[in-house]
Amino acid sequence: MGNPGVTTSTEPRRIAVGITGASGVIYAVRTVAALLELGCHLEVVFSDYGKRLMLDELGADAKADRLPELLAARYGSVVSRGTMVIHSNRDLGATLASGSHRADSMVIVPCSMKTLAGVAHGLSRSLIERAADVMLKEQRRLVLVPRETPMSLPALKNLVACAEAGAMILPAMPAFYQQPKTIDDLAAFIAGKILNALGFDQQLFPAWKGE
């Protein structure tokens, strides 16, 4: 597994973000905003149900093709420190589909059980699944943020298969020891964990001091 935090270049980190149709698009939105604030170049791909869940959970104005405006409205001008392109999930000829493209890491947040199954079995039916397969074959960091409850045995086996293939499984399970007050506090906890998994320091939630 390549170390996601080590780079010899001054180029911005290039990170792929897949957003699928599990509940919890707020985790994706918070993560994308934080990565942009860190100056990353993001390649974002929504599945069809990822787009639908964003409308369901964040409101009728939360259209995938207006993600930059949504982020600026929620998190302010800091998001303009980074850059972002949005690819079609149907475009299997997009940059992310090739191992020669230098996206160094990928996170799928939230990750549906369907996309999890596709990654576990190397199906590459969509750009999200193909890009994840590229991360595994190139031994780059792949972070999966599954959300489902309860979980079926096939889903549990698919999590194990992905972990055995080198992915990091980072379930959408916010903690409460930091005494969250808002939904955004819960989202920030998961986004902070994702940033750590991608090799960044983060200040989205305070570190546990062992007291």
Residues that bind ligand FMN (CB under 6 A): 20-23, 47, 49-50, 53, 56, 112-115, 147-148
Nearest Cα residue to 74 out of 40, 45, 39, 34: 34
Minimal distance, residue 49 CB to ligand FMN, in Å: 4
Q: CB 5 → ligand FMN: shortest distance, Å?
A: 28
Length, in residues, of the chain: 211
For ligand FMN, the closer of residues 37 and 129 by Cβ is 129
Nearer to ligand FMN, 15 or 64 (CB): 64
Closest C-alpha to 158, from 108, 91, 99: 108
CA angle 121, 88, 130 (to 5 degrees): 20
Q: How far is the CB of 134 from ligand FMN (least distance, A)?
A: 17
- Smallest distance, Å, CB 116 to ligand FMN? 7
CB 3 within 8 A of CB 105: no
Which of 40, 142 has the CB closer to ligand FMN? Answer: 142
- Residue 52's Cβ-side half-sphere holds a number of Cα atoms within 13 Å equal to 6
Between 20 and 105, whose beta carbon lies closer to ligand FMN?
20
Q: Return the residue nearest ligand FMN (CB atom).
A: 21
Residue 209 CB, nearest approach to ligand FMN (Å) = 33
Please give the structure tokens belonging to residue 32: 């994308």
Q: Which is nearer to ligand FMN, 55 or 78 (CB)?
A: 55
Helix axis angle, 25-37 relative to 48-58, nearest 10°?
Answer: 90
